[in-house]
Amino acid sequence: MDGIIGHTHIKNQIVKSISSGRFAHAYLICGEDGIGKSLIAKATACLLLGKEENKEYVDIIECKVGKNKKSIGVDEIRGVIEEINNKPFEGDKKVIIIYNAELMTAQAQNSFLKTLEEPPKGVFMIMLCEETENILDTIKSRCQIYKLNHLSKEEMHKFLTEKYSDLSEDEVNMISIISDCVPGKAEEYIKNSTLKEVRDNVLYILANLRNRDLDILKFEENFTKHKGMWKETLTWFLSYIRDVMIYKETGKNSLIINIDKIEDIKRLSEIFSFTQLGDIMEIIKNTREKLESNVNTSLVFDTMLLKMQEV
């Protein structure tokens, strides 16, 4: 647990309950993707088994959504139940970790109820999910529930500086903010060049919105190609606009999120008025609502870009 940054209260509760022999047989750990659910689950499993090194063990059974599948069905859960009823290989304990538990079908969850309520002695079950709304109340009532929150700014700073020592202070601050202090999101940004490409495209679009000769729709194809990143795309639009508004208001670099793009922020502050920036923010808000409602991605981005150009 010591190597996991953040979630101190929850980690302490887990360690204390294991050391005192009061660890419950079923837990539900929830929090958004990249927040650290898997790390805590694996560390907990190792503590329960008395293992110091965090690696794969035969008595840590992991259940994940099958390849090319969108849910965990009854057949998969029957396999988990069968495994639960097998005796541990090395000691007297076994840990079952179910990833993306919210993707279990209702039928699968119902089939798991009896085992969840009365597992064999020495079997512990840890279910991980992003949201609990798709988890049946009958499942939740049988589990201890932990909700993982975003790291604090200080914790996120520690995570980034310890793991990525080559990052500058400005980069650490920028990545902390655009990742919303979620370690997994920060790592994805650092490792994924496509995310950097999308971020640069967003800035280019804002810088050229006033150019009436620019075919703004040529960028729609790029956004559609990376439609799985639409949340990040809109977040970067908003972060740039937020920076421009703050710079226009204060003229201070210290308050800027995208500090590595400060010269671009300054230029944008000269191009747009507060009213125009507010209108663009409203367009982005409407775009987000449409995308959350699963409206055609290509059409939504077309509309967004055209409306922005008309501001």
pLDDT in tens, 208-257: 888 777 676 677 676 777 777 788 888 889 999 999 999 999 998 888 88
CATH number at residue 105: 3.40.50.300
* pLDDT above 80: residue 288: yes
Which residue carries 């000769």 as its tokens? 213
Q: Quick one: tokens of 93?
A: 């304990």
Do 25 and 119 form a contact (C-beta atoms < 8 A)? yes
Burial of 224 (0-12, 13-18, 19+ CB in 10 A): middle
Q: Percent of the chain having pLDDT more than 90?
A: 61
* pLDDT above 70: residue 76: yes
More confident residue, 265 or 193: 265
Which phi-psi region, left, alpha or beta, contains residue 35 (left: φ > 0; alpha: ψ -120 to 50)?
A: alpha
The Cα–Cα gap between 196 and 208 comes to 19
Average pLDDT over residues 265-292: 93
Q: How many domains does the chain have?
A: 2
CATH number at residue 266: 1.20.272.10
Query: Among candidates 115, 59, 65, 108, which has minimal Cα distance to 88?
Result: 59
* pLDDT above 70: residue 87: yes
Which residue carries 């840890």 as its tokens? 126
Query: Among candidates 33, 85, 30, which has minimal Cα distance to 61?
Result: 85
Residues 32 and 90 in one domain: yes
Model confidence band, residue 44 (pLDDT cutoffs 50, 70, 90) = very high
Residues 25 and 110 in one domain: yes
Residues 217 and 294 in one domain: yes
Residues 251 and 140 in one domain: no
* pLDDT above 80: residue 83: yes
In a domain, 196, yes or no: yes
The 10s digit of each residue's pLDDT in 111-161 is: 999 999 889 999 999 999 999 999 999 999 999 999 999 999 999 999 999
Residues 28 and 141 in one domain: yes
Which residue carries 């870009």 as its tokens? 305
Residues 16 and 141 in one domain: yes
Residues 93 and 215 in one domain: no
Residues 143 and 12 in one domain: yes
Residues 30 and 132 in one domain: yes
pLDDT at 294: 80
Average pLDDT over residues 17-27: 94
Beta strands in 49-181 (DSSP E): 60-63, 94-98, 123-129, 144-147
C-alpha to C-alpha distances, 262 to 20, 250, 276, nearest whole angstrom: 53, 14, 20
- Expressed as residue numbers, the domain containing 123 is 8-147
Residues 139 and 206 in one domain: no
